[in-house]
Amino acid sequence: MTQQTLAEALTLTPDAEGGLVARLTGGFSNAPQSAPQERGAPFGGLMAALAAGTMRQGLGVETPLQSLTVQYLAAARFEDATFHPVMNRGGRNVAYASVIGGQGDRPAIHALGTFGRDVPGPVITPLKASPRPVEELEPTPLDTGFGPWFTQYIDHRFVAGPRLFGENAGRTPELGCWMRTSDGAPLDEARLLFLLDGLYPTYFTALPAPPTISASVDLRADILAPLEGVSPDGWAYFHFESRDVGGGWAVEDGAAYAPDGRPLALVRQRRKLMPSRT
């Protein structure tokens, strides 16, 4: 079977019952490339991008996405999935929408979107990044024995290396990495949402191998600036940091920046740690 392109994976096709259908294939599995694709599930960043795309296409929303909150209810299968959008409250300045997506009677994702127009007003932008320029860094693809299948669709350039398995022990568990989708397309809403979940859990940098596996439970992304023309080559700089790991849960924050250092988005993700096998 020919591998899907990212553009194909993001394509939503209307069905006869008012839903939108996406074809989920194993190339976007979150399983490591050393394991069969079927051992994993469709990558959470792809599901988030499809949820936002469903709201836009299904409801005709054209105003900027301000925030997206995603609950990952169950692992989707590698087959067609149907997404059903609802306009919870429309408005000229702010609109609220939601999406349920899944397969048959098994929902896999529930998402809430807030859309609103930008208007003149006070400006405070305390976030700023000045990382080493992406042009000075060599490509650093993830090791295929560890990196998930979906990372084939992402170009990674780590600022200070992947820091895996204890290199940040005793220090702040954080990572800095330039990323873009491997098609080299300009950065847009769908690709930014895809990339906001484009790295392994940051707590991997503070704990020894083997990695403590986790499943994403929910994710919230806040878009801070218009994306049109901000990165024609698709690059953005991402900084991720673990905020808390304990009790079988992990909470991690991230931020995305344009090549000129302007903040583009914030993301927070809660993960459920899987029990260790002994």
- The DSSP bridge partners found for residue 3 are none
Q: Provide the number of structural domains found in the chain.
A: 1
What the block records as the tokens of 278 is 């002994």
What pLDDT, on the 0 to 100 scale, is given for residue 223? 98
Pairing mode of beta strands 174-181, 154-158: antiparallel
SS3 4: coil
- The DSSP bridge partners found for residue 69 are 112, 220
In CATH, what number is assigned to the domain containing residue 76? 2.40.160.210
How does pLDDT run along the chain (278 residues), one tens digit per residue? Answer: 568 999 999 999 999 988 999 999 999 999 999 999 999 999 999 999 999 999 999 999 999 999 999 999 999 999 999 999 999 999 888 999 999 999 999 999 999 999 999 999 999 988 988 999 999 999 999 988 889 999 999 999 999 999 999 999 999 999 999 999 999 999 999 999 999 999 999 999 999 998 899 999 999 999 999 999 999 999 999 999 999 999 999 999 999 999 999 999 999 999 999 887 65
Examine residue 128 and state whether it is found in any structural domain, yes or no: no
Largest pairwise CA distance in the chain: 58
Examine residue 42 and state whether it is found in any structural domain, yes or no: yes
Examine residue 212 and state whether it is found in any structural domain, yes or no: yes
SS3 247: coil
What the block records as the tokens of 102 is 């899944």
Which of 74, 64, 49, 19 lies closest to 154 in space, CA to CA?
Answer: 49
Q: How many CA atoms lie within 13 A of 176 on its CB side?
A: 12
Examine residue 129 and state whether it is found in any structural domain, yes or no: no
Q: Supply the range of the domain harboring residue 71.
A: 6-117+139-273
Neighbour count for residue 219 (Cβ, 10 Å)? 25
Examine residue 222 and state whether it is found in any structural domain, yes or no: yes
